[in-house]
Structure 1
Amino acid sequence: MKEVLLTILVFSPLLGMAALLLVHGTQERRIKWVGILGTLPALSISLYLYGHYLAGHSLNVFSEKAGWIRFGDFQQIDPKLFTVDYELSVDGFSLLMVLLTTVLSTLAAVASIHIKKEWKGYYLLFLLLEIGMLGVFLAQNLVLFFIFFEITLIPAFFLIGKWGYAQKERAAFSFLIYNGFGSAVLLLVIITLLARAGTTNIEALKYLINTEGVPLVSPIPSSMKYGMLIALLIAFGVKLPIFPLHTWMLRVHVQAPPSIVMLHAGVLLKIGAFGIIRFGLGIFPDQFKDLSVLIIVLGVINLLYGAFLAFIQQDFKMVLAYSSISHMGIVLMGLGSLNEAGLQGAIFQVVSHGLIAALLFCLVGIFYERVKTTSIKDLGGLSSVMPITAGFLLASAMASLGLPGMSGFISEFMAFLGLFKADPILAAIGTLGIILTAVYLLRAAMGMIFGKPKLQVNSEAVRDMETAEMVPVFILLAFIILIGVYPAVLSNPLADTIQNILSGSGG
């Protein structure tokens, strides 16, 4: 079973898809239950993998490899040359990303109870999206990664364009065009690496490109390495997103259904950070080190730009959209520091923001279901009509601005600790973003919770959070607090990954 467990994990949502095909399209309740249950096998397997790691066992026993594609016959030279195998593997970093994916997928499936139409098609696409996300984090070669990466685009496009709000088609096409451009750039890098190195295996590429005297099919000059790293930064910078490649993401955050934005902000954006760390920093560590100051500067720009624009927004979804841009700047700043604290803070921020953003958009879905608006002014006085929901909103805002005892504080503290070691001046400038984060989040949250009442207290439509809605909200907040008070749940699995990165970059 261990030999194929990762394959079972990746494709387990197919069970839910098969079950959905047997349910009549008019049976709303049954479809939603099958859709939610379809996410549980992947969640169970990911928890088993984490338990296996906690027990002190190696994750290498789950690695899989099988022959897949061969370009030409090079048996006499090297039988592995120009072959692409079906390869899956898991390490501490990818394990955390898989856990994030499966947890958020299950909770987003629960939050999807507010979907009003064509539930069968919705959950079929939802489960297909989960397959793509899981495959991205477990693929061990670039071709397989690219295929899973593309799989995520198809269901996301339709989920945004069909079940979104007023300008959903525009948001869906913006998503597809920008991410399609990023995919094209990524494909060029993959083809170049295959042509020059004869392989797309990630570990093999790290060895071949960074070891002196190892023969390649065709030498890779230093200028080409810089070019490929910049191309990777562009490809994954669209996904992250890095300013100025961010405008598509604003439309998606506002127009997509909140349950899908939970996955988009919580997981899909994080594929950008994962790609920069795994491929940009992993395959081109020397070039990344030379460009580290530029990466820090891009991070500071993201942090300040997102924070300034979030401060002036009147719609809560736009506040959260710009907040995501701002918080991804912290990831870039931590990566650019190239020390243990900074790298750990960057990866912590990836996981932490995934949970916090998912929690905030889950609450957005609850607001919109009641009052059909996310305007901060129109949601004034929540504490009097929806006290439980208002309490969770306040806790979520505190987590996002970095309150001690929550995951946001740990990630930001570590990222800035690493950045102050690497570049104190840029770190000092970046702290302005942290101050602005507190300002815009408190402004929005306080305006909605304690602002001038706009909602009717006795209205049946404006009711507080129900039990089914409370489940994902409570679980997400519990994870955020757990990481905040016991960060070892993340730092322990990341120890080997960070040491490998630092040894590769000379840190």
Structure 2
Amino acid sequence: MNLLSILVLSPLLGMLILLFIPKREGKLLKVIGVLATLPALFISLILFFQYRSGVDLKKFDVSHEWFSFKNSIQFGDLFSIRYELGIDGLSLVLLLLTTIIATLAAIASIKIITEWKGYFLLFLLLEIGMLGVFAAENFILFFLFFEITLISAFFLIGKWGSDEREKAAYSFLIYNGLGSAILLIVIIVLFAQTGTANFAALQEMITSGAVSESLQFGLFIALLVAFGFKMPIVPLHSWMVRVHVQAPPAVVMIHAGILLKIGAYGLIRFNLGLFPQQAENFAVLLAVLGVINLLYGAFLALVQTDFKMVLAYSSVSHMGIVLIGLGALNEAGIQGAIFQTISHGLISALLFFLVGVFYERTDTSEIPKLGGMAKAMPLTAGFLLVGVMASLGLPGMSGFVSEFMAFLGLFREIPWLAAVGAIGIIMTAVYLLRAVLGVTYGKANREWAGVTDLHGVEFVPVIVLTVLIIAIGVYPNLLASPLQATVELITLKVGG
């Protein structure tokens, strides 16, 4: 009955064990750090296969008394906050994505060379925050776990990142802190108006008219800005580019693969879920913002000479496809947006891991300096090409499915805007192929003649992510099945 609580809090066991291991035992600390991510992975797989076998996910909901207080303004009415966890198809696939990437990022973390104990303690705390965000069933718990991800990621970036890590960490903290402050204001207003923080109860109260139309308008905009920082939506994106370049590769895998998806999850769960009428009113704005993201990120990625910068702006561009799908507000568009959320999580984790391998071998991610790597590191270069093909939407890979559905949805509603956005798809192929060809078949650098290719445990993240990317591309129903009920419910609310 408390399987979700065990899932969310399971990394705590690893944290407790790490506390009793001496700092000098680097190898043991790394082993425990990786093993501590496995219980959550196994539980998420159990939940997924339970659902696939026909088990109702409501069976796993958790609800307990947490704390309460009296509101004197309403003459003693009792306000209570419950500890509530639950999952539906959307949160199920995001929990599975989180546990998979967290385990693979923990494996990638073996390249961390200093202060392993502190690193893995913060890493596991970050995983707890991410799992809690997707499993929370009320706003208070959601915000609590949201803040845990903010604090732990700040220290992971600022302590173990590259040369300008502190600047990147503070940029991350300031921008995401502003988003958190706006989110907190929304939570307080909704709680004061309705007396509840439970998502389902909030939906009922808002539908019944407990929140005025004008207030719904303001809350929708506030949530759009709050999650726009996290996603990010242009022009709230500059912090993300710094983090992608300066954070350690394992942390960037999590940041690009999962943390950015919290913004997309928030827009789907709260903007569309709580305020469907306002979502209809702002549908065109969402689609326009998506096209801006797509084109802006693509054009800036085209002129970058650092592969990390290319991938950073590529993330900005690909998050635009999520907004395009949401702006369509039909079943194809919303499903495409969710598919893009999952697909980009897998593809970006793979690409950033591979670029991290190049950087670890050569101490550079500059494209001109990495020329000729197809000879020096043929396996790494080959998998890099696979990741790039998936990112630009090659048929048979997950990127194609998500982009096709998102644009199909928008073409049905606003064809001229979809046609403009399609330019971004062409630009994606241009900047990604330019970058990967520069690295693999550019002018060879003699310094890299003796570098080692992928080996040992490095194959685990690469193979797992590649298999998942191809599996979703070949058999999209792997995701479509658990998402169907969620997508239908959202489209029903917004009049689709």
Is residue 2:159 matched to residue 1:168?
no
Determine the C-alpha separation between the residues in 1 that align with 2:155 and 2:38. Answer: 23
Residue 410 of structure 2: aligned partner: 419
Higher alpha-carbon deviation: 448-457 or 188-197? 448-457
Residue 358 of structure 1: aligned partner: 349
1:67 aligned to which of 65, 69, 75: 65
Is residue 2:454 matched to residue 1:465?
yes
Determine the C-alpha separation between the residues in 2 that align with 1:458 and 1:269. Answer: 37
Is residue 2:367 matched to residue 1:376?
yes
Ranges of 4+ aligned residues in structure 1 off by more than 3 Å = 76-79, 455-458
CA gap 1:384/1:210 in 2 versus in 1, 3 angstroms: same
Shift of 1:21: 1.3
Is residue 2:316 matched to residue 1:318?
no
1:6 aligned to which of 4, 7, 10: 4
User: CA deviation digits over 1:341-393, x for unaligned, max 9?
Assistant: 00000000000000000000100110011000000000000111100101001
Shift of 1:224: 1.2
Give TM-score, length-normalised by structure 1.
0.96
User: CA deviation digits over 1:116-160, x for unaligned, max 9?
Assistant: 100111001000000000000000000110000000011100000
Contact persistence 1:93–1:493 (CA under 8 A): yes
- Identity %, equivalent residues: 61
Is residue 2:208 matched to residue 1:177?
no
Contact persistence 2:130–2:146 (CA under 8 A): yes
1:398 aligned to which of 382, 385, 389: 389
Is residue 2:442 matched to residue 1:445?
no
SS at match of 2:447: coil
1:261 aligned to which of 247, 252, 259: 252
User: CA deviation digits over 1:409-459, x for unaligned, max 9?
Assistant: 000000000010010010000000000000000000011011110143542
Determine the C-alpha separation between the residues in 2 that align with 1:441 and 1:363. Answer: 14
Is residue 2:99 matched to residue 1:110?
no
One-letter identity of the residue aligned with 1:312: V
Shift of 1:502: 1.0
Equivalent residues in 2 for 1:2-81, closer than 5 Å: 3-72=1-70
Determine the C-alpha separation between the residues in 1 that align with 2:153 and 2:480. Answer: 31
User: CA deviation digits over 1:10-58, x for unaligned, max 9?
Assistant: 0000111111112111111111100000000000000000010011110
Give TM-score, length-normalised by structure 2.
0.98
Shift of 1:226: 0.6
Is residue 2:483 matched to residue 1:485?
no
CA gap 1:455/1:114 in 2 versus in 1, 3 angstroms: farther
Equivalent residues in 2 for 1:99-498, closer than 5 Å: 99-211=96-208, 216=210, 220-456=211-447, 458-459=449-450, 462-498=451-487
One-letter identity of the residue aligned with 2:478: V
User: CA deviation digits over 1:68-91, x for unaligned, max 9?
Assistant: 1213179x9998x62211000011
Shift of 1:470: 1.0
RMSD: 1.3
CA gap 1:455/1:242 in 2 versus in 1, 3 angstroms: farther
User: CA deviation digits over 1:238-262, x for unaligned, max 9?
Assistant: 0000000000001000000010000
SS at match of 1:456: helix
Contact persistence 2:70–2:76 (CA under 8 A): no
CA gap 1:78/1:487 in 2 versus in 1, 3 angstroms: farther
Shift of 1:506: 1.3
Contact persistence 1:261–1:361 (CA under 8 A): yes
One-letter identity of the residue aligned with 2:340: Q
Determine the C-alpha separation between the residues in 2 that align with 1:251 and 1:107. Answer: 23
One-letter identity of the residue aligned with 1:94: S
Contact persistence 2:224–2:267 (CA under 8 A): yes
Determine the C-alpha separation between the residues in 2 that align with 1:271 and 1:21. Answer: 29
Contact persistence 2:367–2:439 (CA under 8 A): yes
Unaligned runs of 5+ in 1: none
CA gap 1:134/1:291 in 2 versus in 1, 3 angstroms: same
Determine the C-alpha separation between the residues in 2 that align with 1:484 and 1:115. Answer: 33
Contact persistence 1:62–1:89 (CA under 8 A): yes
Determine the C-alpha separation between the residues in 1 that align with 2:106 and 2:131. Answer: 16
SS at match of 1:180: helix
Aligned pair count reads 495
Determine the C-alpha separation between the residues in 1 that align with 2:204 and 2:262. Answer: 23
Residue 87 of structure 1: aligned partner: 84
